[in-house]
Chains A and B, each alone.
Chain A
Amino acid sequence: MNILESLGKLVQESGFAAMMSGDGWKNLVMIIIACVLLYLGIKKQYEPLLMVGIAMGCLLANVSALGGFGNALYHQDLWDEFLKEGGPHAHSYGYIMANGGLIDILYMGVKAGVYPCLIFIGIGAMTDFGPLISNPKSLLLGAAAQFGVFFAFFGATLLGFTGNEAASIGIIGGADGPTAILTTTKLAPHLLGPIAVAAYSYMALIPMIQPPLMKMLTTKQERQVKMEQLRTVSKTEKILFPIIVTIFVVLLLPSTAPLIGCLMFGNLLKETGVTERLSDVAQNALMNIVTLFLGISVGATMVGSNFLSIQTIYIVILGLIAFSFSTIGGLLVGKLMYKLSGGKINPLIGSAGVSAVPMAARVSQKVGQQENPSNFLLMHAMGPNVAGVIGSAIAAGFLMSVFG
């Protein structure tokens, strides 16, 4: 083989040549999308901890795909075989372990629903349920703000998605990344990439999505309401809360056990006061490691051949609708509570029921303070905000038990 033949072979086998042939252009588009996501994560700081991982996973998967998957970190073909019902390697983790690359191995944690649960332990360890315990009516706002989940579910069905797909798309409205990932992994794994990206992108865009709706649906007088100071919650109440919620909610809806159980376990570690080391690990080391694994492996599912479809566009649109209607649901019940309480409850805290802790609560505080600079709604909004986490987990549990 002379030097020219060797060079020609190298060029033919390179990813650049693959980019120009067949479906290679799809991978090129995905590489551009990955670069845009990297820009949004790094420069605009849209959920950077996850967005950078997702973007890099997407970049690596598509660059590998152009190189022919030989020594790739992620192998879409292995996962296609894994999902092929009745095939020789259907649901065989051993097959993935024997033939997969690094991201394939990491992705097994997503597939088995391990990462979202571990993240929920971390979230639980970081969450103070005090504002919710001192004002339990906040739970109604957390429930109201799941409206978008079911509205988008119905919308997705109208657009022709299957029940499982529609349920996975609807849960974007819960504004809770791990819940969306767990539900999608169980119900419609082929949609994981676009749903994860839509969920995290809209969570990052909450400060832009919510304020116009909040101003549109509330009057100036309502936005100016100053709320009474919350009562102090005792340590015993804080310890009892995760135990009571676990028993009550899991008995009510057993399919919520992975999410609610892990969330409350993390919170119990925080509140007992005798497991500080474990609480610290859950809040920091564990959370960071799992976020790293989750981001890169979810991003790797965004391979051009799967991602670039009309479905993705529908998912992006339905995700925005889900977020908006969840906000509207929370605000409307907030307005109802304002009326029933004789003007003591500021309806702006209703929009914080969409989960997305603590960003949604911060938005309520900011919009409230724009109307009345001496108004501090943050702690009042944290109640519905953490109630939204429980609400979205219950919504996901319902959808998984109906369609799972």
Chain B
Amino acid sequence: MENAGKLPLGTALVDSVLGYAVVFIGLALLMLVIILVGKIMVAQARKTAEKAAGKLSNTRSPEEYERAVSGKPEPEKPAVPLAPGSAGEVRIYDTDPRDAAMIMAIVADKLQKPLNELRFVSIKEVKEG
């Protein structure tokens, strides 16, 4: 606490208020810039989505087109049976659940990884001919 360079209290108070104001104004202006950029981005994304929906209207049914424009989710498809022991994620097509379980066990064994660290998306029987 050297005496030289000591700040008069009035100056210190002005510096404090000015400093806080600079931080506030700086960040408030930055906020406005980010809001503006965000609005432009959202408008652009909407435009792109509408364009894509316009293209789709030529190839899709009126219900599908309506869904694409409004962003409504697709109706649920009929349930496909789940493989046993897969934490409800694996979908199996034309495959016996026992076979599916065996396939997952073999893959885990070949990869030398515990089964719960692997993620199986679907198992489908490939029919030849």
Contact = CB atoms under 8 A, between A and B. Distances in A.
A90 to B, nearest CB: 18
A151 interface: yes
Interface stretch (B24-32, B54-62, B83-91, B109-117): B24-32
B1 A162 contact: yes
A398 B22 contact: yes
B38 A149 contact: no
A398 B27 CA distance: 13
Interface in B19-68: 19-20, 22-24, 26-31, 33-35, 37-38, 41-42, 45
Contacts of B31: 136-137, 139-140
Chain A at the B interface: SS class? helix
Contacts of B37: 237, 240, 244
Interface stretch (A5-13, A45-53, A153-161, A275-283): A153-161
Query: Which of B4, B23, B38 lies at the interface centre, i.e. has the most chain A CB atoms within 10 A of its CB?
Result: B23
Nearest to A390: B27
B29 A133 contact: no
A402 B15 contact: yes
Interface residues of A, number: 48
A375 interface: no
Query: Which of B2, B19, B33, B45 lies at the interface centre, i.e. has the most chain A CB atoms within 10 A of its CB?
Result: B19
Contact of A136 (B1, B23, B35): B35
A136 B37 CA distance: 11
B16 A253 contact: no
A165 B6 CA distance: 9
A248 B35 CA distance: 14
Contacts, number: 109
A79 interface: no
A216 interface: no
B105 interface: no
B7 interface: yes
Interface in A108-147: 132-134, 136-137, 139-140, 142-144, 146-147
A283 B18 CA distance: 35
Interface string B1-16: 1101111010011011
B41 A150 contact: no
Contacts of B20: 146-147, 149-150
A222 B1 CA distance: 43
Nearest to A311: B1
Interface string A160-198: 111111100000000000000000000000000000000
A236 B12 CA distance: 43
Contact of A245 (B7, B23, B30): B30
Given A136-B38, A157-B12, A395-B23, A162 B30 contact: no
A337 to B, nearest CB: 12
A154 B12 contact: yes
Given A163-B12, A252-B29, A398 B19 contact: yes
A171 to B, nearest CB: 11
B9 A158 contact: yes
Contact of B41 (A146, A236, A249): A236
Contacts of A231: 42
Contacts of A163: 5-7, 12, 15
The 5 closest A-B pairs by CB, nearest first: A157-B12, A162-B5, A150-B16, A143-B27, A163-B7
Interface of A: 132-134, 136-137, 139-140, 142-144, 146-147, 149-151, 153-154, 157-166, 231, 234, 236-237, 240-241, 244-245, 248-249, 252-253, 311, 387, 390-391, 394-395, 398-399, 402
